[in-house]
Structure 1
Amino acid sequence: MNVPLSVVFIGIGATAVTDLWGVARRTMFDIPPPNFGMVGRWIGHMAHGQFRHNSIEKSSPIFGERVIGWTAHYLIGVAFAALLVVIWGQSWIYNPTIGPALAVGTGTVAAPFLIMQPGMGAGVAASRTPHPASARLQSLITHAVFGLGLYISGWVVQYSYAI
């Protein structure tokens, strides 16, 4: 088993599950999916030394911001999958269990609450948004879905090695 490649597949798979949740969420509840172009804009401005914005939507556009944002989204998913394997060990890939996957998935909600949202102008844990409690709940649910995606993707990777 190639552990680094497995981590990449698990991270990409879990992120794809999260994106599917975004589509389902829009269809079922009319909640728009995240705009990863704004993430790309935030990252793009970092190259110019600006790490915090009052409102990322009002900041000047960055060339390729959508590509930057989507790429970062998937690379972060892979990094979080690597975190799962670092914490629970390579044995998790051989025998994926849902507990560690959900723990990492829900734990990763700290990243948007403490880094992304404040940096993009939404405040700590979306405190500057029109409906902070709703935004927090949606973030937590989305990261729990990511955790479920880690488990599902781990199972698929483990099963693919068994074939």
Structure 2
Amino acid sequence: MGWLITGALMGIGGTVAMDIWAQVMRRITGQPLPNWGNVGRWAAQVPKGKVFHDDIGTVAHVESETAIGWAVHYGVGIIYGILFLVIAGPGWLVDAAFLPLWVFSILTIAAGWFLLQPGMGLGWAASKTGNPWRVRVMGLAAHTAFALGMWAVALTVGAPG
């Protein structure tokens, strides 16, 4: 299997792990699940030149916004899986050490903190939410789940033959 496909599968596996983590947290803590409709609504505005909103909830509904949000969620995961292998090199798959993958996954939260969250009106790193530090810590935990999912796929699939 080629490294691009492996990277895409890693991204899918990481995203699935992140979604499982969200379900576990909902059951344990009552934390609401991510609103992929709002993400889809935001993503539909970006090509129109509107990246930052005061409140994405006040923006007009977009047809299929939830499906768009899910597609963005998994598309970004796939891009991150491939990007990690571009940075680390396909040779990383031979030993598939967790630490570089985890560091990469933690760094990817910057896109959420400094693009997506302010774009939807939540402020830089969720600063306009009721409990910004809780949102940040939960994001770091979710990105750790993402790393674990990507790592599990890398260990399962292995280096391209």
State TM-score, norm by structure 1: 0.93
Q: Match for residue 91 of structure 2?
A: 91
Aligned-pair CA distance for 1:93: 2.3
Conserved 8 A contact 2:3-2:85? no
Q: Match for residue 158 of structure 1?
A: 158
What is the rounded CA distance, in whole Å, between the counterparts of 2:115 and 2:65 in structure 1? 18
Structure 1 unaligned segments of length 5 or more: list them: none
Q: Match for residue 79 of structure 1?
A: 79
Aligned-pair CA distance for 1:58: 1.6
Conserved 8 A contact 1:105-1:145? no
What is the rounded CA distance, in whole Å, between the counterparts of 1:126 and 1:13 in structure 2? 26
What is the rounded CA distance, in whole Å, between the counterparts of 1:6 and 1:75 in structure 2? 15
Aligned length: 161
Conserved 8 A contact 1:14-1:148? yes
Q: Match for residue 113 of structure 1?
A: 113
The one-character-per-residue Cα deviations of 1:44-93 (angstroms, maximum 9, x if unpaired) are 11232211110111211111111111011011001111121112110122
What is the rounded CA distance, in whole Å, between the counterparts of 1:84 and 1:90 in structure 2? 9
- Give the secondary-structure state (helix, strand or coil) at the position aligned to 1:50: coil
**1:47 equivalenced with 2:40 (yes/no):** no
Conserved 8 A contact 1:84-1:100? no
Conserved 8 A contact 2:7-2:81? yes
Higher relative contact order (CA 8 A, sep 6+): 2
What is the rounded CA distance, in whole Å, between the counterparts of 2:97 and 2:126 in structure 1? 31
State TM-score, norm by structure 2: 0.94
What is the rounded CA distance, in whole Å, between the counterparts of 2:83 and 2:2 in structure 1? 16
The one-character-per-residue Cα deviations of 1:84-125 (angstroms, maximum 9, x if unpaired) are 111211012232111111111111111111110111100100
- Give the secondary-structure state (helix, strand or coil) at the position aligned to 2:125: helix
Matches within 5 A, 1:55-66: 55-66=55-66
